[in-house]
Amino acid sequence: MRLAIIVTLAFVSFDSVHVKFVNNNDTHHVNDLVSKNEVIYLFKTRNKTSQLNLDHHRRVRRSVPVDRNRLFLDRKVNYLIDPWFPEKETQTIQSAIQKLSEASCVEFVQLSEKPTDDNIDYVHILPSSNCIGEFGRVGGRQMFNLSLTCLEEPTVMHEMLHTLGMWHEHSRWDRDEYVTVLYDNIIPSKKNYFRKLTQTIDDTLSLPYDYSSIMHYKSFDYSIDPSNLRTIISKNPNISSDSIGKTDKLSDLDKQRLNKLYRCDVKRCLDPTKPLNGEVIGDNFEVGAKISYKCKDDTFTLIGSNSRFCKFDGQWSASTPICVQQFYHFCNFETDFCGWQNNVGWVRNELRNQTEHTGPVTDNTLGTPKGHFIYTRSRRKQKGDIASIETPSFSVPDNVQKSCVSFAYYLWGERIGTLKVYIHLTQSGNKKLIFEKSGNIGPKWLIAKYAISAAGQSLHFTFEVIIGGNLLSDIAIDDFVFMSCTQEEIELGHFEIIDLDS
């Protein structure tokens, strides 16, 4: 039996990675684990046109993402087919992509050459002695490698659905209601790949279990005796175990799943919020459309992103910017830590080093994977460990009646601990807790806003995290701003008033 090796980068640390072995007569895949050195050897010995620099690997999430930022947010997938592919194989790729396009609202745009703009997301389909891809949207150039031995239309659709953000049907968190996994019949080193996902990271989209999905394993996959011993059997008396996973086309539920995932029922966003003392430029609010912002005159400074786009779910990307006349400090962490001090346990994000299934994959400022934030990396830490960081010290003028502080925060993961924020008053030495959140609040950025009376005061802020566990408990912050504010700004911005004397 001839086998083609398929490498899938699945973990950030590279202590191990997934390897898929594909039977030439089989459009479905099984996984194995190889060492880091073996992966490097495979990369060095395969076709040079498909080299992937390990240093530029980015985080992958192996699930139907609860975190919708893993999807192509404007429903558009740019792709480039390498000219090395023979004409027949190129047509196979195009036919598979065309069928996905016809089955959904996702727009596939074929590029004729590599984009010169690094900010353009695109899937680069490359020839290789292996098949390798990245799960979900990762931002910028994204690898999708195919060998001639696995280049069949069902396989291309299966792998492209991974790229679009769909994982295997039999990994659903509720799969035990529909199939039985026979672990004693599974090759021991492969048992890990039959684990079911958790509800924290897996979304079934309220669709029925699909035995006919192009994303389902067949009954004998991973078997220690593939001629006699099954690894998955159906619990449904009306569904034969022989039939599960055996398909060369998208099922009706595959199509429904893709369309629900990308909210094909949504056509536009609501009218965007107009910032106080600013304006919105643009009147096209359809999915994928862009708008921009500007302040009413040069006496105001725009804080936040000056542009946003309408996402597939009907929400605008990033946060509404604000126009301020006087601010003491603003940091979006795009270039550095902005002079923040006494850093214990906080890092600026580099996506290839982040942990799966916790923390953000996009920043709050820009709403893209290339934006920056700071977060507490929980990997290799213990429950109860403290990570803290302090802002610079600020002196509030005597004539400023009200000051406002806001910041974005992100708490997502199964073992999320606690985020606390304190104000330290220099003259009195008082320390006041103004913010505290604990536990998983979902994969989304939220904004905290507070107004204080601190005329003539010198003060600084401390962000403190109590680690919830050694994995799945990353906490992030972004877009900190401390500014003077008016009563109108406090009321319209829904700032919570904090009494520093209490």
Question: Are 368 and 234 in a shared domain?
Answer: no
User: How many domains does one find in the chain?
Assistant: 2
Are residues 50 and 35 in contact, defined by beta-carbon separation less than 8 angstroms? no
Question: Are 249 and 377 in a shared domain?
Answer: no
Q: Please state, in angstroms and rounded to a whole number, the distance separating the CA atoms of residues 28 and 23.
A: 8
Q: Is residue 68 part of a domain?
A: yes
Question: Are 336 and 198 in a shared domain?
Answer: no
Residues 93-105: tens digit of each pLDDT: 999 999 999 999 9
Q: Report pLDDT for 65.
A: 60
The dihedral formed by the CA atoms of 66, 70, 75 and 76, expressed in degrees to the nearest 10 = -160
Full-model pTM? 0.80
Q: Please state, in angstroms and rounded to a whole number, the distance separating the CA atoms of residues 448 and 424.
A: 18
Question: Are 331 and 256 in a shared domain?
Answer: no
**Residue-level length of the chain:** 502
159 is catalytic: yes
Q: Report pLDDT for 350.
A: 67
Q: Report pLDDT for 31.
A: 34
Q: Residues in the chain with pLDDT < 50?
A: 1-63, 352
Listed residues 213, 233, 261: the one ending a domain: 261
Question: Are 341 and 477 in a shared domain?
Answer: yes
Question: Are 394 and 475 in a shared domain?
Answer: yes
Q: Is residue 403 part of a domain?
A: yes
Q: Report pLDDT for 148.
A: 83
Q: Which of 345, 360, 166 lies closest to 250 in space, CA to CA?
A: 166
Annotated binding site: 158, 162, 168
Q: Is residue 291 part of a domain?
A: no
Q: Is residue 279 part of a domain?
A: no
Listed residues 211, 228, 261: the one ending a domain: 261
Question: Are 361 and 220 in a shared domain?
Answer: no
Burial (CB count within 10 angstroms: exposed 0-12, middle 13-18, buried 19+), residue 155: buried
Q: Is the dihedral of CA 257, 258, 262, 263 positive or negative?
A: negative
Are residues 338 and 461 in contact, defined by beta-carbon separation less than 8 angstroms? no
Q: Domain of 76: which CATH number? A: 3.40.390.10
Q: Is residue 281 part of a domain?
A: no
What 3-state DSSP class applies to 347?
Answer: strand
Q: Report pLDDT for 33.
A: 27
State the residue range of the domain holding 475: 326-498
Q: Is residue 477 part of a domain?
A: yes
* Rounded (10°) angle between helices 87-102 and 153-164: 50
Q: Report pLDDT for 354.
A: 62
Question: Are 237 and 370 in a shared domain?
Answer: no
Question: Are 348 and 219 in a shared domain?
Answer: no
Q: Is residue 315 part of a domain?
A: no
Q: Is residue 388 part of a domain?
A: yes
Give the DSSP per-residue string, 344-403: ESEEE--GGGSPTTSS-SS-SSS-STTS--EEE--TT--TT-EEEEEPPPEE--TT---E
Question: Are 24 and 165 in a shared domain?
Answer: yes
Question: Are 483 and 348 in a shared domain?
Answer: yes
Listed residues 242, 261, 280: the one ending a domain: 261
What 3-state DSSP class applies to 179?
Answer: strand
Q: Domain of 459: which CATH number? A: 2.60.120.200
Q: Which two tokens stand for residue 179?
A: 């199939």
Question: Are 28 and 177 in a shared domain?
Answer: yes
Q: Name the active-site residue from 152, 159, 464, 489.
A: 159
Residues 238-266: tens digit of each pLDDT: 999 999 999 999 999 999 999 999 999 99
Q: Report pLDDT for 369.
A: 82
